[in-house]
Amino acid sequence: MKPKKEVTIYDIALKLDLSSATVSRALKNHPAINKNTKKKIQDAAKELGYRHNTFASNLRKQKTNTIGVIVHELNSNFITSVLAGIEKITTEAGYDLIIAHSSESFEKESANALNLFHKRVDGLIASLAFDTQGLDHYKSFSDRSIPVIFFDRVEENSDSTKVIIDNYKCGYQATKHLIDQGCKRIVLVTASLKRNVYAQRHKGYTDALFDNNIPFNENYVLIKDLSEQCGIEAALEILKMKPLPDGAFITNDFSAAVCMQTLKEHGINIPEDHN
């Protein structure tokens, strides 16, 4: 079946016996157009199935009113809350979002960055994948003076604009909280220490142990990919430890939930079995 021809402002003008300039202004809600004429034009546009050609308009203006977002995962309360915050602000400012997902792959992240560059986004917000090294794949944006902001997972030694929390302090406080509960054999389940988030939380963990005279045990540090399978694997490794750890600091909420569930399925009572 042959697709229907795209309706233009000239089709609306022909139907209503008006000039194309009048139709164009009315569809842009121009104050110079009479209210009744404006309604007649808008009704005709709806009836004919007219669609505003945003792409062509944006090309003329050299602006797309679109922000690109690259995230490394989607099954995270943190990421979904960040996306909700971004969406709230961009909507209020009249911008659309294009969200891309790297699935923790540098290769996919690079492809997403290139795709968003060719989609002519006005700006980019990105959180890096586990294995991303360097920021060369974002150079095309800086070359065109397109702003890029990195959040959560960033290259700390770069001059890029970054939005991060104090991951060292978080790691320290989480470990200190467990120590204050009487824990001395604390497992850390975390991800690649090449990423700033996990390197800083690991440092907070080790410093909290040191400050409280608890020896660091490298066997208690489990480096995982923070997937569902990782939560299960971490729990099974914990169960094999002798003596059994009495506390766990897991740097990802999804993995923590899966790990806790697996431990419970193997007869561990949380938090009762901490001694």
Tell me, yes or no, whether 257 lies in a domain: yes
Do 84 and 154 have their domain in common?
yes
Residue at which a domain ends, from 131, 163, 195? 163
For 193, the domain range is 167-265
Query: Which phi and psi angles does 151 have, rounded to 5°?
Result: -135, 155
DSSP state of 136: G
> Which CATH number does the domain housing residue 24 bear?
1.10.260.40
Place of tokens 């060719």: 118
| pTM of structure | 0.70
Cβ distance 75 to 83 under 8 Å? no
4 or 67: which leads in pLDDT = 67
What mean pLDDT is reported for the chain? 88
* pLDDT over 90 at 160, yes or no: no
When mean pLDDT is compared over 19-28, 33-42, 57-66, 145-154, the highest value belongs to 145-154
Same domain, 212 and 133: no
151 or 73: which carries more pLDDT confidence? 151
6 pLDDT exceeds 90? no
Report if residue 214 sits inside a domain: yes
Q: In this predicted structure, what is the pLDDT of residue 50? A: 84
pLDDT of residue 274 exceeding 70: no
Average pLDDT of 247-254?
A: 88
Integer Cα distance of 146 and 212 in angstroms: 47
Q: Crossing angle, helix 253-265 and helix 228-240, to 10 degrees?
A: 50
* Interval 11-52: pLDDT, tens: 888 988 888 888 888 888 888 888 888 888 889 888 888 877
* Range 190-198 average pLDDT: 89
What φ, ψ does residue 60 adopt, rounded to 5°?
Answer: -65, -40
Write out pLDDT tens, residues 100-132: 999 989 999 999 999 999 888 999 999 999 888
Answer yes or no: do 76 and 152 share one domain.
yes
The pLDDT, as a whole number, for residue 59 is 56
C-alpha–C-alpha distance, residues 28 and 26, integer Å = 5
48 part of a folded domain: yes
Q: Report the run of H or E that residue 140 belongs to, with start and end.
A: helix 139-143
Indicate whether 122 and 208 sit together in one domain.
Answer: no
Identify the residue with better confidence: 4 or 73. Answer: 73
The residue from 163, 198, 228 where one domain ends is: 163
Q: Work out the number of other CB atoms within 10 angstroms of the CB of residue 95.
A: 17
Query: Do both 141 and 214 map to the same domain?
Result: no
State the average pLDDT over residues 187-204.
92
Residue 68 has pLDDT above 90, yes or no: yes
Handedness of CA 255, 82, 97, 46 (dihedral sign): positive
Is the bond preceding 271 in cis, omega lying within 30 degrees of 0?
Answer: yes
Residues 107 and 200 in one domain: no
Asked if residue 1 is part of any domain, the answer here is no
Tokens 């009762």, residue? 272
On whether residue 2 sits in a domain, the answer given is: no
Indicate whether 152 and 177 sit together in one domain: no
57 assigned to some structural domain: no
273 domain-assigned: no
pLDDT at 102: 93
Percent of the chain predicted with pLDDT > 90: 48
187 and 159 both lie in a single domain: no
> Domain check: are 155 and 80 in the same one?
yes
The verdict on 86 and 70 lying in the same domain is: yes
| Distance (Å, whole) CA 94 – CA 97 | 10
Section 130-145 average pLDDT: 90
Q: How confident is the model at residue 225 (pLDDT cuts 50, 70, 90)?
A: confident
Cα gap 186→209, rounded to integer Å = 9
CATH number for the domain including 76?
Answer: 3.40.50.2300
Query: What pLDDT score does 212 carry?
Result: 96
pLDDT of residue 61: 61
pLDDT of 55 strictly over 90: no
Is 3 among the domain residues?
A: no
Tell me, yes or no, whether 158 and 187 share the same domain.
Answer: no
| Number of folded domains that form the chain | 3
> Mean pLDDT, to the nearest integer, of 156-166?
88
Shared domain for 36 and 88, answered yes or no, is no
